[in-house]
């Protein structure tokens, strides 16, 4: 239930963060506009680091972290996520 609400509620912090990134804001700009913590940013970082430590490939999270790092835009991030097989 919590994952569903986080992803779909117009009041959800993670959804708000995603919408801000989707408009082209950088992570830093989006964080400046947020009044609450979007825990998904820290979670994505943690999962990416843990997967790297374990030698596990998690392309969805890798695409997300690449967006958060500012190397790709939201459109490219989505392309990479839907291309995962």
| DSSP annotation string for 33-72 | H-SS--HHHHHHHHHHHHHHHHT---HHHHHHHHHHTTSS
Both tokens of residue 73?
């835009």
pLDDT-derived band at 5 (thresholds 50, 70, 90) equals confident
pLDDT-derived band at 74 (thresholds 50, 70, 90) equals very high
Structural domains in the chain (count) = 1
Give the SS3 label for residue 22: helix
Its domain, for residue 41, covers: 2-82
pLDDT of 20-62, one tens digit each?
A: 999 999 999 999 999 888 889 999 999 999 999 999 999 999 9
């Amino acid at each position: 239930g919590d994952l569903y609400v986080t992803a779909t509620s117009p009041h959800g912090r993670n959804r708000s963060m995603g919408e801000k990134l989707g408009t082209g804001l950088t992570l830093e700009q989006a964080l400046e506009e947020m009044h609450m913590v979007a825990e998904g940013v820290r979670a994505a970082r943690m999962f990416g680091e843990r997967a790297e430590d374990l030698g596990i490939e998690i392309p969805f999270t890798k695409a997300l972290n690449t967006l958060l790092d500012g190397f790709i835009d939201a459109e490219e991030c989505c392309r990479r996520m839907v291309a995962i097989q």
